[in-house]
Chains A and B, each alone.
Chain A
Amino acid sequence: MNQQAIKELLFKMADDALIIGHRNSEWTGIGPMLEEDLAFSSMAQDKIGHAQALYKILNENFGEAEPDSLAFKRDEKSFTCCHFVELPIGEYDFSLVRHFLFDHAELIRYEYLTQSSFLPLAQLAKKVKGEIKYHVLHADTFLKQLAHGSEESKARMQSALNNAFPFALGIFEKGVFENDVINEAIFIGEDALQKEWLNKIQTIVNNFGLSLPTVKDTATAFGGRKGYHTEFLKPLLEEMCEVTNLDLTAEW
């Protein structure tokens, strides 16, 4: 099996999960209501857990560093997360819509990965599929509620969708080894994933009385998979790695 292809997939998935997990954890303590503060924080922890599990596969199967080192001791350029997860949390409407768009893609991705020819990934996908099912349920229920709430809440959901959607397309930016990933049945590929995701969210968004914006240049949010990031990633990494960087040789 093409090791580079599997590593590319594992790294981008892990980096996405780590960065969105870190981002969403920024809501801890300032969430819109106590119950949601807790739920959102808890899901952010789940994402960090997915990142850890994926880094662990990289560590155990491909001789990469320990998960902690992969998370906290890499430079910005070696991260392959998409721009979408790097963006600041904004107001709650944006974070909620990002959660909706991102987790629908995650759910479909992990469902296909349960069939992956790379067994460690298939096993992980089977293990965490229930978690992601809940993340999607949470996002759908909240979006539905707010899309049918007041005039302001509906307008906020629509405008958050308009802002977030072009960036969400960056999730599906292909890496160098995309064809190998598909040919070796590791994963069905980003194009197929995007198509299925688009169908799914289009239906839901319409059911909720909202609409998806039209995007002329779908490559606007590309670059992340090749190590080119938004201005927001560096400060995030600096903050996330602040404690580790105090003493790089410390044992935890």
Chain B
Amino acid sequence: MNSLDPRIKRLDLKNTEEGEVHTNSHLITYEVFHQEKRGKQVMHVGIVHAPSPEMALILAKEQYARRGKTTNLWIAKSSDIFTFNSEDEDIFETTPDKTFRDPGFYKVRDRIEAFQKRNNLKV
């Protein structure tokens, strides 16, 4: 199941007939991530319950990729997700105020047009 990218394990279709089987008396919760096109960001879409990563992946396929376009799915154990405490949400509270970090904050259209005119560039 090793891929060229050592960070990621991939399902080997030729190998699904062999290999180790995870048996758990309880189902594990997996987070599912969906990628619409190659190169696009992988977005969290929900969870599935399954006894193994292989089972999680095949169940996620119909659960989250039965409509529209899909190029790939990722699954990860919910227990592997590391996150902030929800009561620490105030860390992010003032971020929306910092509009100087948004590209739209800078009004440079006039200066671009002046530059183009000066240099006889097409407007």
User: What's the nearest-Cβ distance from chain B to residue A185, in Å?
Assistant: 28
Given contacts A145-B21, A148-B21, A148-B23, contact A35 B50 (CB under 8 A): yes
Type the 1/0 row for A26-42, where 1 means its CB is closer than 8 Å to any CB of B. Answer: 00000001111011001
A39 touches B59 (CB 8 A): yes
- Of the residues A34, A35, A140, A145, contact of B52 by C-beta under 8 Å: A145
- Of the residues B17, B52, B54, contact of A207 by C-beta under 8 Å: B17
List B contacts of A204 (CB < 8 A).
17
| Cβ < 8 Å to B, chain A residues 114-142 | 133-134, 137-138, 140-142
The bracket for how many chain B residues form the interface is 20 to 34
Chain B minimum-CB-distance residue to A144: B21
- Of the residues A35, A138, A145, A203, contact of B49 by C-beta under 8 Å: A35
List B contacts of A145 (CB < 8 A).
21, 23, 51-52, 54-55
Type the 1/0 row for A176-220, where 1 means its CB is closer than 8 Å to any CB of B. Answer: 000000000000000000000000000110011000000000000
- Of the residues B27, B48, B49, B54, contact of A141 by C-beta under 8 Å: B54
List A contacts of B62 (CB < 8 A).
35, 38-39, 42-43
B72 within 8 A of A: no
A138 touches B58 (CB 8 A): yes
Type the 1/0 row for A148-161, where 1 means its CB is closer than 8 Å to any CB of B. Answer: 11000000000000
A133 touches B13 (CB 8 A): yes
Chain B minimum-CB-distance residue to A43: B62
Chain A minimum-CB-distance residue to B51: A145
B61 touches A149 (CB 8 A): no
B79 within 8 A of A: no
B18 within 8 A of A: yes
A134 touches B61 (CB 8 A): yes
Chain B minimum-CB-distance residue to A209: B21
The 3 A-B residue pairs with the shortest CB-CB distance, nearest first, are A39-B62, A148-B21, A35-B59
Q: List 19 A-B contacts (CB under 8 A).
A: A35-B49, A35-B50, A35-B62, A42-B62, A137-B13, A137-B16, A137-B58, A140-B16, A141-B54, A141-B58, A142-B55, A142-B58, A144-B16, A145-B21, A145-B23, A145-B52, A148-B21, A204-B17, A208-B17
Chain B interfacial positions (CB closer than 8 Å to A): 13, 16-18, 21, 23, 27, 48-52, 54-55, 58-59, 61-63, 66
Chain A interfacial positions (CB closer than 8 Å to B): 33-36, 38-39, 42-43, 133-134, 137-138, 140-142, 144-145, 148-149, 203-204, 207-208
